Structure 1
Amino acid sequence: METLFSSVGANRKDYIMMKDQIHDINLHYKSLLKKIGHHNARKLRYKKILTSASKTSSREIFEKICDFKNGISPNDLTDLIKKMTNASTWIGHTYLRYLISHVNFTSYGNSISNSDKVEDILEHVRRGIPLNGRYSHDDIFKAIYDECELRHYFPDHKPALRIPKTNVTVVLISGVLNEIFSTAAFERGADHLCQISHAKYITTNVKGTKSSEHNSELIAKQLTKYIDENPEEKLWLIGFSKGGVDALHFMRNHRIFCERNVIGLSTVASPILGSDHVNNKFIGVLNQLHKLSDNPIYKYIEETRGTLGPEFQKSLSSSHQRVWFRHNHQELPKSPFYTSVAFESSWYESHLWMILTKLIFRSRKSNDGVVDVENATFPSYFNGINLGILRGHHLVGTRSSHFCQEALMESHLIFLKYLGLID
């Protein structure tokens, strides 16, 4: 009898062990299927981006060539070369990413699992329930951004948040030397946002090598004309890099217009308090060129293209811009909101050009390759909303970048809608 019970007990233990092993195998199998699904999703995402890059580039070049039927000028030829260079860079970069996606089985983006804190934030945001100071603004924004990013990296992820509708008009204001790119900074993200939220977007034509005072008047002229033609629209300014500084100067100089027509300004990687890099030795060498200011050739170049002259540098210098903001922040219009987000990246995470800038403009402080994080956020004495720091280098706003611009735009809209700052 004892032998019989011992045999039954042993069989039961074997059964339990076998059941646990089968359970573990099922878990591993499901995990493997999920990883394969994510891998295929990434390949599909990069394939779509590659297809879009090829079609868009071909269309732009074809349209430019068609414009030559009435003759070609040196500026037309330069523009064509720029478009072809940008197109080849975009397609080549995207194709490389697409090839790598076939052999890259590591996770990309954020983990699908959330902490209790993040789940609590998302539930309150989803239901529109105030958190009453339980979490900081940057905690809330980061939770929203990560959730938005998940929906793009993992198509099988069930979204916890919906993208709200809005009739606002987004105004993109780009930064230094954006003229070398085919589109405004973060235009790809803005275009996506408008497709899913009923918003509109426009771009401003600013000079990347001119001072903020100069550009503030360009912005004023363009937006005044736009509002004259569209008097019912409200503007949401999004300033990237120096574009954010230009926007601040515009709002300071045209306060009444902004009180009536601008609902807010969101800066992205903008040197709100200036940049110490303009004091770099490299800039010092460049300044030697300005000793030729009486030369006719110099004057022509300065008037037409700009040469990073003294007024331009003053707009970015921390010794000037930090003082400017302290002296002028109370003169900014009161009704619009002000938000900021900063980027940071290690040198090995950066774009090639950002690696070079990190070598030229060395900084011990956290930065995105160009702007130090501490200068990209609003100071404590100003009633601005700092949305925290995201991983990314300073060129993630280009259309060839694989940074999730779509998630950045979506998270801004959701956050602002949750706080009641945007209709």
Structure 2
Amino acid sequence: MRKVLVIGYVWPEPRSSAAGSRMLELLGVFRGEGWHVTFASAAALSSHRADLSELQIEEVAVALNCDSFDGFVAQLQPDLVLFDRFFTEEQFAWRVERAWPTALRVLDTSDLHCLRDTRHALLKANQQACANETERYQVGPVQATPQVLYEVMADSDMAQREVAAIYRCDLTLMISSFEMALLQEHFGVPAALLHECALMLIPPTHNALPFAERQHFLSIGNFRHAPNWDAVLWLKHALWPLIRARLPQAQLHVYGAYPPPKATALHNPKQGFHVLGWVDDAHRVMAQARVCLAPLRFGAGIKGKLADAMACGTPSITTPIGSEGMHGELPWPGSVAADAHAFADAAVQFYQDEDRWAQAQQQGHVLLDSRFERGRLGEALIARLEELLMNREQHRRGNFIGAMLRHHQHKSTQYMSQWIAAKNAATTQKTEG
């Protein structure tokens, strides 16, 4: 039986974010193979976290900058260690390599953080030329080419850290075909170090509610995720006024985990703008809505909200950022718009046109079946991991840059961590004395 250690940046919250859903899917794939899975995290526990015991997954709380982690790994002797995002790799990978070097080291990026960060910076730069707040809200989504993105990203600290982490690992799971191409064509990352593993989604609901039994627009997303909060602001100040002017009775329901006071302050029933916050079952409200709005001006990865919309048979209006890496040559189940007026036009059209709406609903089912089929994606992932487990040494010999980066980068990380651990130990000893 294979033993897998997953080191989470946070405890998975599948009802709060797409990242949480993705993590639960990965854990389910491992357990489906009969593998023994241990999930460890240094994060604080949350009330919305998944009950991993239902999957017979052992939960272990670990500490940052503490040598006790080394003993834990040496005792567990995992075949594979999965790092949840690159910050976790930076904190723990050198300890894993020191304590149990034979373990396959796999990174799950969730999405490419440096890409999201760069697009956010470009959006802010585009807004700086605006004379006032009203004009800033009219700025559309970032549409920089891969070459421009690379030129901005190449000098950033986050890109250098994240790409270094990708090189240091035996394999990195990528969620988006766009990000796969960006890494290979512009950053020179070898294909042997990457594996495209999109969200492994629930199958579509083919008996979804029809047009006449649905009402309202819906927007959903964790408020702690910067692209989602920006989307709410763009909706409130630029998009919804355009839609509401043409559909005076329309209602928009905005859902999402962890809404801050500044978000709930936007709630205005007279304008049809309802900030409703946390919802226990996102699929239930998505399946009752007529149209999903996802006006993302920046971001990265694959958008769970749009995948959920397809699964629930709900057409979606989004931006090129939102649809990126999701549909390939297949038509989008709704509309992709690059500016405020085009977005509002599409939202109104799909809300009123039953034939276009029904066609989009069917296109969503086709897209899920074609590109996000859970069984096929899971089997491909397991096959790739088994291949690497069988040929680990040969694979590592072909990644000299990764070995070089581990030698240098991990030394500085290691010494800093050991200094903190020694300082903490001395403080504890002094307190007890």
Please say whether Structure 1 and Structure 2 have the same fold, judged by a TM-score greater than 0.5.
no
Normalised by the size of structure 1, how large is the TM-score? 0.32
Pick the structure with greater CA Rg.
1
- Select the structure that is richer in helix: 1
